[in-house]
Structure 1
Amino acid sequence: MRKSILHSTLVLIITFCSFSLFAESGETLEPITITVQKGETLSLISERHLSDPKRWPELLKHNKIPNPNLIKPGLSLVVPVFLRKAVVGVTEFVMGQVEWNGTGGKGPWVPLKLGQELHPNDQIKTAGKGKTDVHINNVGMVRILHDSHFEVKGEEKKGGPVTVALFKGSLDAKVNKSNPPTTEHKFNIVSPSSTAGVRGTEFRVELDDKLSSTISCFEGVVDVAAQGKTVELKQGMATFVEKGKSPVQPYKIPEAPRLKEE
C-alpha cells in the first residue's frame, strides 16, 4: 500500500514539474515547420508566422525557394527562429466552437487547436457554449468564456506587463502572485470601456451589450481605470464602468467563485 501511495505521489510530482517547465518555457522559440494549406498565400503565411511580414524574401531564401509562385498547397516551409513571432502563450483547453485568427483579425478564421501557440495580435472568438483556457507566459491562466472576442497584445516593452484586449463577452483570469508582492501591474486587460491592471489575483471582466464593463475581484488587487479615474478593487469587491464614464465606487459582491482547472 505504501509503495502504491509513494508511486502515485511521484507521478503527481513529475507531472506537475513537467507542466511547470512547459508553461514557463514558452518564451524559448524553436524553428517550426508549416504545411501550406489550400487558400493560403505567402502574404497570409508571413502575417501569421513572421515577426515582420515584410521579411518574406528571407523566408523564401531560407527554404531555397527561388520564386514566390512556388508557394502552393502541400509545400512544407521551415520558419527559422530569427524570423518567428514571439510566443505569448498557448491554449491548454478548448471546448465547443472556438476560432483563432493569426493575422490580427484581417485573414480567415480557423478552428482553435489545443496547444496552439499565441503571438502578439492573435485573436480568439468563442460562440455558443465554446470556451478556452489560455496560459499566458509568466502571468497565469485566462479563461475566455462563451460568445467572446479576445486579442493577445503582448508586452509593449521587454519585461513590462502583458496586455490583452476583450472586445466582447467575458473572461476569468488567475494571475500568478508576485513574490515578493509588488505594486506594479504584471497584466493589463483593455476593453472598450475600461482598463484593468492586475497585481496577482483572480478576477472576472464582463462586457454587456453596450460594451460597459463589470470587473469583479475574487482575490488580490485590481486597479480599474477609465476617463482619468482609477479605483482599487480588493477581494470580494467589484465596480461597473459605463462606456464613456468613470468607474463607480467599488461595491461588495456575493461570495467569490473559485476558478478551477478544466
Structure 2
Amino acid sequence: MKFQNFLKLNSVCPTKRWEDTSTFFLLTPHLIFQNILYVFLFFFFYLSPILSESKHQKIQPPEGDGITILVEKGQTLSIISKTYLDDPRKWKELLKSNQIDNPNLIIPGMKLWIPKSLGKKPLADIQRYTGKTEVLKISQKQTDWSGASVGEGLYAKDEVRTFKESEAQFLLLSGSRFEITENSHIIMEKGKSDTDPDELYLRRGRIRSIIQRKPSSNQRMFLLRTEAAVSEVKGTDFITEVDGSGNTTLSCYEGIVAVSAQNVTVNVGSGFATFVEKGKPPLKPFALPDPPKPKDE
C-alpha cells in the first residue's frame, strides 16, 4: 500500500474532537502510535529507495593492477566469477576486492574491478615482437584491434595478427613457446578442462612451435588447429603453414606430430613433413630436404 493511499484510507475516519480533557489524554497514546506509523511508512516508501540508490552510487572500484568491467543485465556474481576468474565459487573474493559487503548491491551498469592477482592466468604472454603486430582482446569484449605490447597476456578467444615484415614470439603457461612470422593470424583457444592441452588456431600464415615436454610421457602437450587439419604433439619442434586456400603444410624437426584430417591420422617424425589439402586427408609423410650447405669460398 502506498503512503498516499494509506492517508486517504485514514481520512475516512477522522479523529473526533473531544471537549473532555481527560478523554483527550486517554487517546494520546493512540495518536502517538499513529504518528510513528506514518513516519515509518514515509521512510519505507520514499527514503529507503533513495538511500539504497545512493549506496550503489558510492561504490567505486579501487585503483590497482587489473581490469574494470561493467556488470551486464542478467549477469550474476557466479557468472562473472566464471567468466573472469575461471571459478564461479570465487564471487566472495571478488566482492572483497571491491570492498562490497552485500551481494545484493550488484546491479547492471555498475563497475567491478578484477585484480590481476585474483583473475585467471593468461594462456600465453607476448615475449617480443617486431614490426606491426596487433591484438584483438575478445576476452575483454573489445571490438577494435590495438597495438601489441611486450608482457601482454592473451586469454581464450584473443587474436593476434602480424603484417608485412613483422613477427612475434609468445610463451605459453606450460612453458612452451611459439613464433609467428609476417602476415600471420592466430587465435588462442582453451581446452574444455584444466587437463586438456594448450590450443592454438592458425587462421593463416606460418608458426613455429617449440613444445615443452612434461614428465608424464603420454599426456598430450599441445594442440594446433588449422582449417584443414589438427596437429597433436608431445614435446617437439615443428613448423606449420597455412596458405591462402586454407591448405596446411607441417614440417617436423624434433619429436613426433600426429596430424589428423577427414578421420585419417598420420604420424610425422623428425625430418619429415606432410601436406593437408582443405577437405582431404593428410598425405603420407615425406622427407624434408636437407638444409642448404654454405658455398665453398
TM-score, length-scaled by structure 1: 0.70
Mapped contact 1:176–1:201 kept (Cα < 8 A): yes
**Which of 239, 245, 248 is the matching residue for 1:213?**
248
CA deviations over 1:14-69 (Å, ceiling 9, x no partner): xxxxxxxxxxxxxxxxx962477xxxx7379x8xx8247x999x968843597876
Structure 2 counterpart of 1:144, one-letter code: I
Q: Confirm or deny that 1:249 pairs with 2:267.
A: no
Structure 2 counterpart of 1:249, one-letter code: K
**Which of 32, 38, 42 is the matching residue for 2:70?**
42
Closer/same/farther in 2, CA of residues 219 and 107 from structure 1, 3 Å limit = same
Correspondence for 2:163: 127
Choose 87-96 or 238-247, whichever is displaced more. 87-96
Correspondence for 2:8: none
Correspondence for 1:101: 136
Correspondence for 1:193: 228
Separation in 2, partners of 1:158, 1:99: 28
SS of residue paired to 1:50: helix
Q: Size of the alignment, in residue pairs?
A: 215
Correspondence for 1:157: 193
Structure of greater relative contact order (alpha carbons < 8 Å, 6+ residues apart): 1
Q: CA RMSD in A?
A: 3.4
Correspondence for 1:173: 209
Separation in 1, partners of 2:163, 2:263: 34
Structure 1 counterpart of 2:222, one-letter code: F
Structure 2 counterpart of 1:133, one-letter code: Q
Separation in 1, partners of 2:196, 2:237: 20
Correspondence for 1:3: none
| Identity score, percent | 26
Mapped contact 2:125–2:153 kept (Cα < 8 A): yes
Separation in 1, partners of 2:239, 2:125: 20
Mapped contact 1:156–1:162 kept (Cα < 8 A): no
Structure 1 counterpart of 2:285, one-letter code: P
Closer/same/farther in 2, CA of residues 64 and 229 from structure 1, 3 Å limit = same
1:177 shift after superposition: 2.8
Q: Where in structure 2 are the equivalents of 1:202-241 lying within 5 Å?
A: 202-241=237-276
Mapped contact 2:213–2:234 kept (Cα < 8 A): yes
Q: Where in structure 2 are the equivalents of 1:71-86 lying within 5 Å?
A: 77=113, 79=115, 81-82=117-118, 84-86=119-121
Gaps of 5+ in 1: 1-30, 258-262
Separation in 2, partners of 1:227, 1:170: 22
Separation in 2, partners of 1:154, 1:78: 20
Separation in 1, partners of 2:131, 2:123: 23
Structure 1 counterpart of 2:242, one-letter code: L
Closer/same/farther in 2, CA of residues 256 and 51 from structure 1, 3 Å limit = farther
Mapped contact 1:154–1:162 kept (Cα < 8 A): yes
Separation in 2, partners of 1:225, 1:256: 27
Correspondence for 1:91: 126
SS of residue paired to 2:190: strand
Mapped contact 2:263–2:281 kept (Cα < 8 A): yes
Closer/same/farther in 2, CA of residues 223 and 170 from structure 1, 3 Å limit = same
1:231 shift after superposition: 0.3
Closer/same/farther in 2, CA of residues 177 and 60 from structure 1, 3 Å limit = closer
**Which of 52, 62, 65 is the matching residue for 1:33?**
65
SS of residue paired to 2:149: coil
